[in-house]
Structure 1
Amino acid sequence: MTNILELQNLSKHYHSNDHQLTVLNNISFGIEEGETCSIVGPSGSGKTTLLGLCAGLDSASTGKVWLNRMCLNDMSEDERAAVRGEHVGFIFQNFQLLPTLTALENVMVPMELRKEQNIRSRAMELLERVGLEDRFSHYPTQLSGGEQQRIALARAFSNTPRILFADEPTGNLDEATGEKVENLLFELNKEQGTTLVLVTHDLELAKKTQRIIRIKGGELVSDEKSVNVNY
């Protein structure tokens, strides 16, 4: 199998006056196409920073990142944004829906940016797939947290991403709602053959992925296959 994501000796430092804070130190791993992987670790361990570097949302201090066999280090911010628009989907803990747009319009946005055809029907299909066929015209403030995250799921898969990055996707949801969102996430991921990289503090959620990478204090401390994969 080919690695869709590869990190080589990745570090991230922040400088303040004469002090250097190391958030990530010398991280290396690869993720194969179609693999599901969790990144876990205590609060402040560098999980979200690592996810941002993997997706090209930020630049590493040292080391290299290859996404879909393209080296992000060699790209401008505009070039990295183009790669994300073409190949990457995102799901965030706080949903990040546009409040002035309806559910349908929120799902259509990535497709509009890509100048795709038949985007309205595609967006409707995705919302129906996540059980929101009666919420097309609702605005985010009119919806529950679980419904908003299901819209975010539909939006994330609207560009048929090669890789999906999810940052604590159920962190703001109650247990029952979170489980429903988890099931939809893994079902859609499997249907589309997407690679999933999931940041979570929830070990039960992490165990649903094929592989668990643990970081602590900015360093990779273990990388192992999950023994309880459900998907």
Structure 2
Amino acid sequence: MSKILNVDRLRKSYSSGGNDLTVLEGISFAVPSGTTFAIVGPSGSGKTTLLGLCAGLDTPDSGTVEVCGQDLGSLTEDQRAALRNEKVGFIFQNFQLLPTLTALENVSVPLELQGFRGAGETARTLLQKVGLADRTHHYPSQLSGGEQQRVALARAFANRPEILFADEPTGNLDGHTGQRVVDLLFDLNQEAGTTLVIVTHDMELARRCDRILRLQGGRMLEPEEPSKP
């Protein structure tokens, strides 16, 4: 099985108060195409930093990240952005919907900007799949947190990404609502055959994935631990 994400000896530090604070040190792992992968660890362990590096939203001090066969370090910022637009999807804890656009527009406009034909119909189909067929013309402020995250799910899968990064996708939701969002996420992911990489503090969610990467203090504890028989 081919590897859609390869991370090798990744290191990242930030300057804080005149000192260098190492956030990640010696991180190496690979994610096979079409699998699900969880990154877990306590607050401050480097989870979100690692996700940003894997998605090309930030650059490491040393080490390499390859996504969809491309070494992110060899790409310009514009090339990394193009790669994300074409092959990568995102789901964030705080939804990140545009408040002036309806649910339908939040899903369809990014497709239209990429020249995607049938953007409106694709958006309607995805919103129907996440149970929001009757909320297409509602604005984010008119939707509950769970509904907003379901719009975000539809948007994330709209461009048919090869790999999807989810940063604490249930972090702002109550337990029942979060469970529904997780079920939809895994259902949509299985249907699309997308590779899913999730940052989460929720071990129940992590155990639904094929592999778990545990971080503590910026280092790996148990790389790619099998979580299912």
Q: TM-score range by the shorter chain?
A: over 0.9
Matches of 1:41 and 1:190 in 2, distance apart?
25
Q: Is the 8 A contact 1:85 1:110 kept in 2?
A: no
Partner SS for 1:58: coil
Residue number in structure 2 paired with 1:84: 84
Instruction: Name the TM-score, length of structure 1 as normaliser.
Output: 0.97
Per-residue deviation, 1:17: 6.0
In the other structure, the counterpart of 1:130 is: 130
User: TM-score w.r.t. structure 2 length?
Assistant: 0.98
Number of the residue aligned with 1:108: 108
Match of residue 73 from structure 1: 73
Q: CA-atom RMSD, angstroms? A: 0.9
Matches within 5 A, 1:151-230: 151-223=151-223, 224-227=225-228
Correspondences of 1:55-74 after superposition (within 5 Å): 55-74=55-74
Partner of 1:119: 119
Counterpart contact for 1:51–1:165, Cα < 8 Å = yes
In structure 2, the partner of 1:54 is: 54
Residue 203 of structure 1 and its aligned partner are, at CA, apart by 0.3
Gaps of 5+ in 1: none
> How many residues were matched structurally?
228
Instruction: Provide Cα deviations, 1:204-224, integer angstroms capped at 9, x if missing partner.
Output: 010011111101000011021
Shift of 1:18: 4.2
Residue 29 of structure 2 is matched in structure 1 by: 29
Q: Which amino acid aligns with 1:84?
A: R
Instruction: State the shift of 1:15 in Å.
Output: 2.2
Structure 2 Cα separation of the partners of residues 34 and 227 of structure 1: 16
Distance 1:110 1:202 in 2: 30
Matched with 1:145 is: 145
How many Å apart are 1:117 and its aligned residue?
0.6
Partner secondary structure for residue 128 of structure 1: helix
Structure 1 residue 227: Cα displacement: 2.8
* Residue aligning to 1:14: 14
What whole-Å deviation, never above 9, does each CA across 1:107-128 have from its counterpart, x for those lacking one?
Answer: 0122112111111111000000
- AA partner of residue 60 (structure 1): P
List 4+ stretches of structure 1 deviating above 2 A.
15-18
Query: Sequence identity, in percent?
Result: 61
